[in-house]
Chain A
Amino acid sequence: MTAPATPASSPATAGERPGVRMARSRRNAELSLLLLAMALVAAYGAMVEAKVLDTVTPGFWVPAATLTAVFLGVHLVIRFLAPFADPALLPAVALLNGLGVGFLRRLDLAKAAPEERADLAIFAGIGGRQLAWTLISVVLAAGLLALMRDHRSVSRYAYTLGLAGIVLVMLPAVLPPSISEINGAKLWVRIGSFSIQPGEFAKLALLVFFAYYLVRKREVLSLASHRFLGIDFPRGRDLGPVLVVWAISLLVLVFEKDLGTSLLYFGMFVATVYIATERVSWLLIGLVLFFGGAYLAYVLGDAVGGPFANFYLRAQIWLDPFAQPYDDGYQLVQGLLALGSGGLFGAGPGGGQPLLLPEVQNDFIFAGIGEEIGLFGLSALLVIYLLIVERGLRAALAVRDSFGKLLAGGLAFTLALQVFVIVGGISKLIPLTGQTTPFLSAGGSSLMANWLLIAVLLRVSDAGRRPVDGVGGRVTRPSGPPEQLHGAPTEVIKP
């Protein structure tokens, strides 16, 4: 227990006056974790080749090495721009991203004709594309870290971002289906062969707005209330904004035919309201509204059809996927079979039959990976997600201003909810909806948006863990009115 006293990692603090929090940036821990993660990615690549090609090609390490170089770049950026950021975030995300790239390359190998497999270029196919997307996303994330030196500065653009978020959400809904519809869900904007999913970025923009709005309104929302059945319920007129967001998310459900996205927006808002007000009643109201809305959509889909039909169909598949195993339920059934045949320990990387799964590179990547690494491996991946989310919430606890708290808490929760929605859908816990699996799925929009999210979390955690007396040679307080506290920890307890 005495081990972590104060190793030599923080010589800068040696000359500090006593009483100052011993600040340790933990960047070296991050570096070694990152190298361990990349070793795992390389091992995964080698095992895939050993299984699929029966030999390990001399170039098996190239994708892993490329990723390592890219992530080491981010690591350096963090070292200089956010030296006190959380050490666990980057390696955990890097591992998921790396395994995603590895699995997509494995799909490329499986798709290629057997005789061509050995010659398959490393940067070809969806694996190579994902590698390129990773590079772009990571550069964007580093750029965000460089631009946003203080997370509070984004609150200045809160209304702009909120508007942009709503536009991004609505864009696919109003565009004609030929541009925006893929597989029955209208979530895309396609320009030529290039398609982006604006909703992924809308998440971030809306969350900044929510956080800003709630920082201003939290008093009203949390103090003005009346008590009923031992729970404090908000006043009717304060329900306005939550009803608006609910309506928007229902519209998304109806016009974009996507339950997952709508659940994501609504859950995000309810969670941030809850974090802001500490009122359980908001959670209850949120759950009741969402389940009520979903049930209504289900009933309407049965009776009226039209825009609700898609949701009704998905709910039907969820209730009984084996009713039409070769038809509507095919995807879910194949996913369940993949997970089942993976069993506890899986078929080993490269040993499964992922090509039987429709959309395995995308929505069903978790089932595809699960077939090969089994429950044992999947739970490791889930724990890694859990750790990322935990570090995000931790950053929210540590940071001293309410905007940062809400931003980090909301982002961490959003990530958790997204993982829940897709993994829950694949494992038939909830109706399946097309969400991307963060960091694993093929696709640039999702990867970029999630890396930006991580960049924000890194920035907030840096602010939270940075010692007050500016260690590290940089004046941490801006000049100007000194210590004009947005900053001191303010906790409001229930009066």
Chain B
Amino acid sequence: MITVARFGFLVLLWIFVFTVVGVIRRDLFAGARSGRLVAAPRMVGASTGQATAKPAKVKRGRAAHQLVVTAGQLAGTRITLGEAQITIGRAEDSTLVITDDYASARHARLVPRDGQWFVEDLGSTNGTYLDRAKVTGPTPVPLGVPIRIGRTSLELRP
């Protein structure tokens, strides 16, 4: 009897371990599914008749997923875009803190609206340029077009 209990206890211990692993595994999958804005496997939504909770914005073609600094001191820095806006400037609480002599403390920001990113100048001294054009109001940013702030260039990448 005691022997049975002994081994039973060990087995139970491992069952606990694997249950925890199971919970974590589910968690990982849930995170992976929703963290990246990719469509769910078609089978899942269709067969169960669920309302697909997947974003419509994906259908608009290639959405921007990264903001890459292509020139300037921070060249190579990459920011993964989420649903929150990106602020750019010398202020420490900016998302992208650039140490550029020609940048203002709160220079510009990038705001997502329905899957499209808009750049907006925040009253900077030296201005923000989308490719060659000075940004005056919220302007949609196409993929791969450089945003210039002082000596720094930024691009949206898929």
Instruction: Report which A residues bind B (CB closer than 8 A).
Output: 1-2, 4-6, 18-22, 24, 26, 29, 33, 36-37, 39-40, 43-44, 47, 50-51, 87-88, 91-92, 95, 345-346, 348-349, 351, 373-374, 376-377, 380-381, 383-384, 387, 390-391, 398, 400, 468-469, 483-495
Contact = CB atoms under 8 A, between A and B. Distances in A.
Interface residues of B, number: 56
A478 to B, nearest CB: 13
Nearest to A39: B12
B139 interface: no
B6 A348 contact: yes
Contact of A40 (B13, B26, B74): B13
Given A19-B37, A485-B87, A485-B94, A47 B2 contact: yes
B3 A348 contact: yes
B12 A484 contact: no
A492 B13 contact: no
B23 A87 contact: yes
Contact of A2 (B10, B30, B44, B83): B44
B77 A495 contact: yes
Given A19-B56, A348-B9, A377-B10, 4 more contacts: A384-B16, A488-B95, A490-B79, A495-B75
B85 interface: yes
Interface stretch (B46-54, B128-136, B141-149, B150-158): B46-54
Given A489-B82, A493-B76, A36 B9 contact: no
B5 A47 contact: yes
B96 interface: yes
Nearest to B80: A489
B69 to A, nearest CB: 9
A20 B23 CA distance: 22
Contacts of B74: 495
The B interface is mostly helix, strand or loop, or mixed, namely helix
Contacts of B43: 2
A348 B2 contact: yes
Contacts of A87: 23, 27
Given A2-B44, A43-B12, A485-B86, A22 B78 contact: no
A4 B16 contact: no
B6 A47 contact: yes
B109 to A, nearest CB: 9
B14 A380 contact: yes
B17 A383 contact: yes
Contacts of A4: 26, 29-30
24 contacts: A2-B44, A6-B53, A19-B56, A22-B53, A33-B19, A40-B9, A47-B5, A87-B23, A88-B23, A91-B20, A345-B7, A346-B6, A373-B13, A374-B10, A380-B17, A387-B21, A387-B24, A468-B82, A483-B85, A485-B93, A488-B95, A491-B78, A492-B77, A495-B75
